[in-house]
Structure 1
Amino acid sequence: MIPPRYDRTAASAVLAGLVHPGLFTTPTGGERRLIPYTSNGVIAEAGSHLTLSQRLYLEKFMRPCPPGQVTVATHRITWTDSSGVPCTGHYRQGGLGPIMPIAARETTLALWRSLGADVELTARIARLTPDEQAVLAGTTTDQEPREILRIGVEAAGRTLAQHALLSADRPDLDARGFAGALRDGGIFLAVAGQWYWELQASTLRRGMIPVRFTGDGPLRYTAGSVDVLRRMKDATIADAHAVMLKATTVDGLTEEEAVHKYHDELDLISRQYALLAPDTRPHCLARTAIVPALADVYVETFGRLLDVITIEESAQAVADDGDATSFLVPDMNCRHCQGTIRAVLEAMDLTVHEVDLVSKRVTVADFRSPRNRRRAFEAIRDGGYTVIGGA
């Protein structure tokens, strides 16, 4: 077996070869469906528009982003999607409302099913050479070809749901029009090129977005937004390089040894930045070859699903079984999330049996006590994730 090899250019080429021709076909709208949801107001700290979790994440991981650059949700919602998986999301009062995260999730599910049924994709994956497999294993977070594409689809959904927090600024656009304007304004490409991956997932989980749109016309980021994104990305790269430099000079480790020793500092995201050549500014590996086609089919599928989805607010809450060793983390969405949650639990000396991305289910051997279970849930929530007990 060829060992993993870090090569961003080669990895982009491998992914480009997998998606053509015609990977992202538009699914049909399907049957009509009613999706109930619960909604709760988001409570900010006194004298601030940010919650405690939002402020702490901003101060620790979003420097030098100023608080005034951040728009936050007014409500947090929970619902069960059409595949039976509990989900969480946010919306901002005065905007397009809870339909945006709910319909985005259904769009993601529809495109996941399309990927799973694509026999030509299966054949192309089977034809990958050992060297191509090694490049994906060494350069990407999720490593497996179909999983990489699946997470890319979910990233498109995150882009749509998160930017909907800004939809109140464009009252001229309905849900379908807003999605199309995101695509036409190049916002899907901007996220792939200017954001860093962890920033998108982590801010979405907390119901916040650190960008603003310009006024009328196409949806574009303000110059200040672009500058803040660039500086946040540069700071993340610099942090990763500093850890790697210390490991390979002061500690005298090889790159492989450094990644292993400093796993917590160089998590699955920052590790990819730590291995970059100096003065390199990365963007998403799929940005050029995949994102434009994905954005087109995502927006078209989203529009079709709007015609068949009805949402309804419900007062019913999800019960929490205080004795269960299995629970759900609805906003766990990639291998980085998977690794983070496993690491949190294992640091508490818990034996983890399963952290499944598809079902969002986490199972441990035994919590030992209800108090220990509550402590574990609190530790996961401190990372910005939602925990639903009694899965």
Structure 2
Amino acid sequence: MLSRTDLRGRVPSAAELRATLPRAEMDVDAVLHLLRPVVEAVRDRGVDAVLEFTERFDRVRPDRVRVPAEELDKALRELDQPVRLALEESISRARRVHADQRRTDVTTQVVDGGTVTERWVPVARVGLYAPGGLAVYPSSVVMNVVPAQAAGVESLVVCSPAQAEFGGRPHPTILAACALLGVDEVWAVGGAQAVALLAYGGTDTDGAELTPVDMVTGPGNIYVTGAKRMLRGLVGIDSEAGPTEIAILADHTADPVHVAADLISQAEHDTLAASVLVTTSEELADAVDAELGRQVAATKHTERIGTALRGKQSGCVLVSDVDDGLKVVDAYAAEHLEIQTENAREVAARVRNAGAIFVGPYAPVSLGDYCAGSNHVLPTGGCARHSSGLSVQTFLRGIHVVDYSAEALREVADQVVALAHAEDLPAHGQAVTARFRR
């Protein structure tokens, strides 16, 4: 089922690997011309435009954007008990991990009378996006809200698409997750219009203010990503999320049943999802292919999964040894990387590029999606070479506070003046010397 690339006996350069390895493609630029009228309409006409687009794209027109608090409470009361317990466990574990990410202010004494303090200040107001397309993602609510709360963000709003099935409100499980997390502001709006409303704000149909945010985070489809690109600068964003992806580095010790199940789990998201196996064992590759044939036929979303696995973004890469496999997975820089080899912990410690690493046979990506305590909002499309997943740091800004006495400034004045003249900016130097002319 998976196409194969045989790199045994050779490992191409990093540039060749980037061009050769399977990769999902998403041309955000191609949709920007479609999004510009949406974004501009929301900027100019606010909620009226939002509701019109919601009616057009989601086939329902809510009576207002903000979901009443009593509906959040009702959704939580009616949530199936096993799902509630699972969400509570997910929240608890995520809070434990993200609490340890909080930064502390640090003051450095540069000279006598001269200090620089780095203060870590949370973003004031954040909009968190929870998708509502082929699946329901209360887990994404958890993954966005927990680090924002741990960072000390004071004002949070969750956006999720209005659902015709639920009277123009987001899916009840999304609302219940918000209630469990203590989020009381939820907007029933999705797509590019959600990102635009978060950026510009507006007035709801009942006259209540919909306050704009300073930052938008959370995964979404190409239209959400395009709107984030268009509005970046007016608001901060976490990343431009592409289709989800998994890479598995495996040797002869891996269980093909496990490997196939994990490849399928990511293919279940979307027909564009990427599932890539990198292995030293042709026998394992054959066994995984056989397992894929059996398991895909037995899954609920057979057609979607099969399309993803047969797509050019998925495949199997054969390598001579684990060292070569590490070069391949580092070049690929997967959103999710599983290590299913001998000495998996040691091999995982050598990985340089990945959004998250899952070690050994009992750490599937699904664990990280829900209950590992890690965050599942991760860099895609090779961005793990330079970017991290969502964390407390996403919502913090480092601000340098410079505090110098007169003597400390006098001591370095000549150096400031010399550098100012070297850059042909004499007024910079004069801003220092003017303090000592009296």
TM-score (norm 2): 0.22
Relative to the length of structure 1, the TM-score reads 0.23
Higher strand share: 2
